[in-house]
Chains A and B, each alone.
Chain A
Amino acid sequence: MRIVLEKRPAPSRLMLGLTPVLAVIATMLAGGVMFWALGANPVEAIRTIFLDPLFDPTFGAYSRPQLLVKAAPLILIAIGLSLGFKAGIWNIGAEGQYIIGAVVGAGVGLAFYPTESRLIFPAMVLAGAFGGWAWAMIPAILKTRLGTNEILVSLMLVYVAENILASVASGLLKNPEGRGFPGSRNFARDYPAASNLELLPGTGMHWGVVAAFIAVIAAYALMTRHKMGFAIKLTGEAPRAARFAGVNPTRLVLFSLGTAGALAGMAGLFEVAGPAGQISIDFGSGYGFTAIIVAFLGRLHPVGILLAGLLMALTYIGGELAQLMLGMPAAAIQLFQGMLLFFLLAMDVFANYRIRIKTREAA
């Protein structure tokens, strides 16, 4: 008896919709085993990660607003990434674009300190978007002009961005009144005009959340109604047909990398001016990488990304809770999130293949 994978004539639509759910379940099972091996009660650990942040009577009030705070940058970045991913353009460097967006946006804000102009925050948002866009243009232009691989270039630029962040946090943008500690002035505490505070108290709703929702709607309209969305979809599904149809590959690379960079940069600015509060050496928190998981978990569909972003945010908050309550190491939580992508990609096999059990090999 042998178990063989047999290619389906066409991908199963049922499985395409079902695999994200199956992946979440498989992650819970495998994660449970991991938590058990670390000496925790697996059921309690899974409950702490997925349910306690929302329903726990003591922590719920604190962690529910965090859901939107954490989900917003993930969704914003993942929406941008999904455009390129759909066309087969792999921007792995959103983390770098996120950091540079934060640095440039914060830089503009700090340059006008302590203005009370109402224009300063919009200017910072634009500057953040510009910073992320410009950082993404490096792999885009290298790819279109010299044919370099955007995966490698965008990824390596993350490390460059991290070094720039470390440099400005303890140099150019350092708080002059910070008694020599690295890190910029705190927007949330010291600079009200330039801060990105909660719009409705107790909800976690800030301008980044608004931007994320707008991005979801805009991406949906782009993909279903606009020529550019059609070109993206066509390039991903049949690249030769796209060239025949007249899609300009150079423009597509510039557009998708640029949009992803601008959205990631904006996400960085919303984060630095709000939840993070300041430019600090450890500002880069991995949102740019996690957003890759979010994009795929959401099947590169705007609404899917919205849901996947919320789910991923939940694992972030639940993971912190698990660290606090059960003493789980931070690495275990990252592993848990990584498992999610692993299982999702593994489950995708079943969309394209079905399992056949052959009892006897025919000669």
Chain B
Amino acid sequence: MTDALLTLEGLTKAYPGVVANDSVSFAIKPGEVHALLGENGAGKSTLVKTIYGLVKPDAGRMLLNGTPFAPANPRAARAAGVAMVFQHFSLFDALSVAENVALGMDNPPGQRQLGARIREVSEAYGLPLDPDRIVGELSAGERQRVEIVRCLLQNPRLLIMDEPTSVLTPQEVDILFKTLRKLAAEGTSILYISHKLEEIRSLCEHATVLRLGQVVATCDPREKTARDLAEMMVGTALHVPEREGGETGQVLLEVKRLSLPAPGGFGTPLREISLALLSGEILGIGGVAGNGQDELLAALSGERPAPAGSIFLRQRDVSRLRPNARRALGLLAAPEERLGHAAAPEMSLTENALLTGEVREGLSSRGFIRWGKARDFAAQVIEAFDVRTPGTETAAGALSGGNLQKFVIGREILQKPDVFVVNQPTWGVDASAAAAIRQALLDLAQTGAGVVVISQDLDELMEIADHFTALNEGRLAPIRSARGLTIEEIGLMMGGAHDMDVADEDAIAEVQP
């Protein structure tokens, strides 16, 4: 492979308890747009951090133009011609474009000269930028341009882009792709990280698919269907269980055209989300991370108030209610991040039981906490959900991921919710705990509650969900019956191929009268 720009040979990186990269080998040719494809946690980030000098591999080596390449830090990587645009921007809002660009350069020229260069380069690549504008006033797409132009000024031979389109509008994506194609035509190699199938099919000539840290496939994405790529990404063992839809009754939760702007700079806006959840129903919401999952959960739990008239619980508008008011009415939630969101890691399980159980379990009276009752409630959760812990006074952070997740889920289920919204119920949880949690969710639905399960684990959703939909860039795909759904359809719903909508209107009509 002498003609390759960058060759990776057997790169391995292990963290305590997980092998992030397991002898990963592939090569990137000059002028190639190379896709790195994989689910969250597949090891994509670790791999590109290795190339960019942020992570040192445990084993294996890299060759750049045939010579060994082991950057000690990003500066060394940049000096060798490797540039990276991160998923999260590293820009100072209060500074101008030119000042920000200068800050990221190792040897910045004078401001006036730099300004002229920025104008020149940005226009040459169809990314017009005014060097004197303050970054705080720019849109997400324009901010990304700043990052890209900063990289281009260094004349990179390899440009790494980590999920570049997650913050862009479709129009901005088109512009970005034109730029990338032009760069590739000029001989710059691009390593493009994404889990958006359609993007990769339209942009990349070569794809390396990672699963659980290993290279599981390489292909030319233009010759594959979205279904092929999805199967490579999630593994072919995507079994669709025979599950009768349970007894469903009246509408418990109804979301009507819920739109919310992105929280802060990096979130995903929610766009016109509508759904109806019946009693006894489990609605599975798939989709790759960062497509609005956290935002949807925050809107439903009440962490972020929604516009009036967008969220209804038993026909009652709860959009403006705060979390505890919603809990009182029976709408409970469990967020994805266990440590620091669903639970406070340094506080005891008793305190963490109080965290959401105060209202429904009567753990306070006239403002004063009833610690005895809180302790009893924590003990009940531990008992009922087989949480392995020395006792109720153990810090939540000291529990293993699976045990803490059982505690978090159990804490809500024992409060007998009418509607339970859970994000990533079994993320990073061992198989037996995951099975117990799924069973608990099925049992909860059996009692007549409605359950919304947001997950990136398609197997999980197919196993427990009655209906399926997917979040893509803050939009919800049309809700379909989970029975008989093919992997291709799921892949397309997740990848946001919106032309699906037209073709499948009949199927939608079946489940959404």
Contacts and interface: CB of A to CB of B under 8 A. Distances in A.
A248 B322 contact: yes
Contacts of B344: 234, 237-238, 241-242
Given A227-B369, A228-B367, A246 B342 contact: no
Contact of B356 (A225, A228, A245): A245
Contact of B345 (A233, A238, A245): A238
Contacts of B322: 246, 248
Given A238-B344, A241-B342, A245-B356, A230 B351 contact: yes
B323 A233 contact: no
Given A241-B342, A244-B335, A225 B301 contact: no
A362 B364 CA distance: 55
Interface string B240-280: 00000000000000000000000000000000000000000
B346 A237 contact: yes
A189 interface: no
B131 interface: no
B341 A227 contact: no
Contacts of B303: 243-244
A237 B369 contact: no
A227 B368 CA distance: 6
Nearest to B294: A240
A228 B303 CA distance: 18
A221 to B, nearest CB: 9
B369 A244 contact: no
B206 interface: no
B354 A230 contact: yes
A244 B337 CA distance: 11
B368 A234 contact: no
Contacts of B343: 238, 241
Interface string B318-337: 00001110010000010101
A8 interface: no
A47 interface: no
Interface size, B (range): 20 to 34
Interface in A247-261: 248
Contacts of B513: none
B355 A234 contact: yes
Interface in A207-252: 225-228, 230, 233-234, 237-238, 240-246, 248
Contacts of B302: 246
Interface in A10-29: 10
B170 interface: no
B339 to A, nearest CB: 8
Contacts of A246: 302, 322-324, 327
B392 to A, nearest CB: 16
A238 B351 CA distance: 12
Contact of B323 (A10, A227, A228, A245): A245
Nearest to B56: A363
B355 A227 contact: no
Contacts of A248: 322
B354 A244 contact: no
B323 A244 contact: yes
B110 interface: no
Contact of B358 (A10, A225, A227, A244): A227
A9 B345 CA distance: 13
A156 B341 CA distance: 34
Given A234-B347, A237-B347, A244 B368 contact: no
Q: Which of A226, A240, A242, A244 has the most CB of B within 10 A?
A: A244
Nearest to A229: B369
Contacts of B17: none
B390 interface: no
B340 interface: yes
A225 B370 CA distance: 8
A243 B327 CA distance: 14
Contacts of B337: 240
A245 B412 CA distance: 12
B356 A244 contact: yes
B342 to A, nearest CB: 7
B396 to A, nearest CB: 9
Given A238-B340, A238-B341, A233 B327 contact: no
A217 to B, nearest CB: 15
A225 B335 CA distance: 27
B368 A240 contact: no
Nearest to A235: B344
A238 B341 CA distance: 7
Nearest to B367: A227
B347 A227 contact: no
Nearest to B301: A244
A225 B369 contact: yes
Given A243-B303, A244-B342, A226 B347 contact: no
Contacts of A245: 323-324, 355-356, 358
Contacts of B323: 243-246
Given A246-B322, A246-B327, A248-B322, A241 B355 contact: yes
A248 B397 CA distance: 24
B369 A226 contact: yes
A233 B347 contact: yes
Contacts of B358: 227, 245
Contacts of B371: 225
B355 A240 contact: no
Nearest to A234: B344
A226 B367 contact: yes
Interface string A317-344: 0000000000000000000000000000
A241 B356 CA distance: 10
A240 B294 CA distance: 12
Nearest to A11: B346
A241 B333 CA distance: 12
Interface in B362-386: 364, 367-369, 371
A230 B367 CA distance: 10
A240 B335 CA distance: 10
Q: Which of B327, B333, B344, B369 has the most CB of A within 10 A?
A: B344
28 contacts: A225-B368, A226-B367, A226-B369, A227-B358, A227-B368, A227-B369, A230-B369, A233-B347, A234-B344, A234-B351, A234-B355, A237-B344, A237-B346, A237-B347, A238-B344, A238-B346, A240-B340, A240-B341, A241-B340, A241-B344, A244-B323, A244-B335, A245-B323, A245-B358, A246-B302, A246-B322, A246-B327, A248-B322
Interface of A: 10, 225-228, 230, 233-234, 237-238, 240-246, 248
Interface of B: 301-303, 322-324, 327, 333, 335, 337, 340-347, 351, 354-356, 358, 364, 367-369, 371, 397
The list of the 8 closest CB pairs from A to B, nearest first, reads: A246-B323, A238-B344, A246-B324, A240-B341, A245-B355, A241-B344, A238-B340, A243-B303
Given A233-B347, A241-B355, A246-B324, 13 more contacts: A226-B367, A226-B368, A227-B368, A234-B347, A238-B340, A238-B346, A240-B340, A241-B341, A241-B342, A243-B303, A245-B355, A246-B302, A246-B322
